[in-house]
Amino acid sequence: MGMDSLYYKAWMTKQKILEKLFGTYEESFQNLPRTLLVIRDLNPGIIVTWDHKMFDGNKAIFEKAFWIWFLNLLR
C-alpha cells in the first residue's frame, strides 16, 4: 500500500509540472487550430487538416490532425 501511494504522489506531481509547463488539455485543444494554421502559414507547400466532432452546442472532441510537406517528397 505504501508503494501505491508513493507512485500516485509522484504521478500527480509530474502531471502538475506538465500542466504548469504546457497548460491543460482544454487549453491545448483551444490552441490546436491556431497552431496548425501557423505551421501551414510558415511552411510553403504543406497541407494541414484536422477533424473534430461538435456536441452540446459549443463543445468539441478532437479526433485527428494530419500534415504533409509535398514539395519535400517530390525532390
Please check whether residue 71 is in contact with residue 47, taking contact to mean a CB–CB distance below 8 angstroms.
no
Query: What residues does 45 pair with on adjacent strands?
Result: none
pLDDT score for 64: 87
pLDDT score for 62: 79
Per-residue pLDDT in tens (0 to 9) along the chain, 75 residues: 567 889 999 999 999 999 999 888 888 878 888 888 898 899 888 888 888 888 887 877 778 888 887 655 555
* 9-15: long-range pairs with CB below 8 Å, 24+: none
- Residue in 34, 29, 36, 68 with CA at minimum distance from that of residue 52: 29
Cα separation of 28 and 62, whole Å?
A: 11
Cα separation of 2 and 47, whole Å?
A: 51
**Whole-model pTM?**
0.56
The amino acid sitting at 52 is: H
